[in-house]
Amino acid sequence: MPKQRKKRAPRVAVVAADFNASIVEAMLAAAASEVRAQGASLVGDPIRVHGSYETPLVASRLLARRDVDAVVVLGYIERGDTQHGEVMGHVVHAALVNLSIEHGKPVGLALIGPGATLEQAEQRKDPYARAAVGAALRALHAVVLTRSR
Q: What are the pLDDT digits (tens) for 80-98?
A: 677 677 788 889 999 999 9
Calculated CA dihedral for residues 116, 54, 35, 76, nearest 10 degrees: -10
Q: Residue 84 catalytic? A: yes
Given the residues 84, 93, 103, 141, select the one marked as catalytic. Answer: 84
Domains present along the chain, CATH in parentheses: 11-147 (3.40.50.960)
Nearest to 138 by CA among 29, 38, 8, 66: 38
Predicted confidence band of residue 145 (pLDDT cuts 50, 70, 90): confident
pLDDT reading at 79 higher than 80: no
The H or E element containing residue 88 is helix 84-103
